[in-house]
Structure 1
Amino acid sequence: MDTNYPFNTAGLCTEEIDRFHDTYNVLKTKFDIALTGHIDFQLENFEVFKHYQGINIRDSYVIKHENNNSYILFIESQLKHHAHGHNGPGYECQTWALAYLKHNFGRVLIRPETLADKIIELIHPVELDFEEDKAFSDTFYVLVNDHYKAVSGIDRNFRNAVMDVREDDFVIEIVEHTLIIGNSKPISPEKAIYLAEFVSRLCTACD
């Protein structure tokens, strides 16, 4: 690790180092962040990472809050159809954010709803909808494995926080008390801020 940078630069090209550094600097100006050291966030429990051959947390940062911390993860993922190489073809550097929630949500997947989702829903209704919040249900596709836990956890405050995420392409997955949010797009300062704002809001207002 290059001590001139607050993240692991091993295997990164100049463009990637610049992107990581810009992202870190933007986060640092808005949030009270610090390197976590090694933490096992148990990412192997999340379905969103199942299509990767390998997931490696290059660096993780804690966003400090009064009662509950959230985290930003710089993740290096390897696609299953590439078996070799480092940061060459098949490797992607991504930003994800993570929060620990007070309520047990069971397993939940939330993502922007597509036209295909709406058509499938007409034939096989599997999605959790909120009759009292049509705007949320029209915007997001919600799959759950425990209806009671999900409805209890996905309350108005939580739904409002999801609606306010400024990133337009993201997935939220919750495994009981642990939430992650992100996508497979390359790391960027703007995206990292949007994700950090969301998990920070959960930790300060929705727990």
Structure 2
Amino acid sequence: MINPFLNFYKDDQTQKDAIVLEELVSNLNITYQPAKSSFTDSLKGFELLTHLFNCRVYRNFCFKNGNRQTFYLLEVVAAHRTSKFTVYSIQPSTEEYRIYPFVVFKTSLTIGHVIVRPETISDKITELIKPVEVDFKNHKSFSFKYFVSAADKDLVTSNFPFELMDYLNKQRNISLEFKDGLCLMRHSKAINIKDGVELCKIASDIQQILA
């Protein structure tokens, strides 16, 4: 069943994504135990969402892993805006709406508001001019791979689990945000079955690490 809320978009790319989402949910129903619970917590102020253009959160799907821990797959729709430049004029920008799968779960980890995302070349250059990220001296390879920003740096360096750093150091294209007792996760790409399944597995693994 395709999400009827997505029908208002002009192009059909989001409709194709909605079909992929249904296939992803079917795959997850085999690996995890589906549950009827619905995600009702507020995601206001989560930067992984606010940094997306024209972002909207639609459906959510609840699952329980082997340890009976609950996580939710979120259907997030956002636009990618592009503009065409020619010698004579600037063409109107176009927007392509895509679905991006997010996963969210509750956690008791006390590190305040923290964002963990893959570090870019731009981040490394910025750090040379004005250091702002959190560096972990006890796990230099993790610090090299990820950009970590935090409201309270001392709280993070004291309480961020080494086991979680070690695990994330082996992953790719994953971003996390901890805020208000929740962990929100996303993959860098638009929805596809392989990355969606992997995202849920990583979320389940992290839940067990933090348990």
Instruction: Name the structure 1 match of 2:185.
Output: 181
Equivalent residues of 2:101, 2:187 under 8 A apart: yes
- Runs (4+) of structure 1 exceeding 6 A deviation are none
Instruction: Name the structure 1 match of 2:50.
Output: 50
Instruction: Name the structure 1 match of 2:64.
Output: 63
TM-aligned CA distance change 1:118 to 1:16, over 3 Å = closer
Runs of 5+ consecutive residues of structure 2 not aligned to the other structure: 83-93
The DSSP-based 3-state class of the residue aligned with 2:135 is coil
Equivalent residues of 2:17, 2:98 under 8 A apart: no
**CA distance in structure 2 between the aligned counterparts of 1:15 and 1:192, rounded to whole angstroms:** 15
Deviations 1:72-131 (A, max 9, x none): 2122335799xxxxxx95532110011211122211111111112112112211111111
Instruction: Name the structure 1 match of 2:90.
Output: none
**CA distance in structure 1 between the aligned counterparts of 2:44 and 2:79, rounded to whole angstroms:** 13
Q: 1:163 aligns with which of 159, 162, 169?
A: 169
Instruction: Name the structure 2 match of 1:5.
Output: none
Aligned residue pairs total 192
Instruction: Please tell me the root mean square deviation across aligned C-alpha atoms, in Å.
Output: 2.6
**CA distance in structure 1 between the aligned counterparts of 2:64 and 2:55, rounded to whole angstroms:** 26
Q: CA deviation at 1:17?
A: 4.0
Instruction: Name the structure 2 match of 1:120.
Output: 126
Equivalent residues of 1:99, 1:202 under 8 A apart: no
Instruction: Name the structure 1 match of 2:89.
Output: none
The DSSP-based 3-state class of the residue aligned with 2:44 is helix
Instruction: Name the structure 2 match of 1:16.
Output: 17
Q: 1:97 aligns with which of 98, 103, 107?
A: 103
Q: CA deviation at 1:25?
A: 2.2
Q: What's the TM-score once normalised by structure 1's chain length? A: 0.79
Instruction: Name the structure 1 match of 2:149.
Output: 143
Equivalent residues of 1:24, 1:189 under 8 A apart: no
Deviations 1:170-197 (A, max 9, x none): 3211114211111463211111122111
**CA distance in structure 2 between the aligned counterparts of 1:116 and 1:80, rounded to whole angstroms:** 21
**1:199 and 2:195 correspond:** no
The DSSP-based 3-state class of the residue aligned with 2:114 is strand
**CA distance in structure 2 between the aligned counterparts of 1:152 and 1:100, rounded to whole angstroms:** 21
AA at the equivalent of 2:49: F
Equivalent residues of 1:65, 1:203 under 8 A apart: no
The DSSP-based 3-state class of the residue aligned with 1:130 is coil
**CA distance in structure 1 between the aligned counterparts of 2:127 and 2:182, rounded to whole angstroms:** 27
AA at the equivalent of 2:48: V
Runs of 5+ consecutive residues of structure 1 not aligned to the other structure: 3-7, 82-87
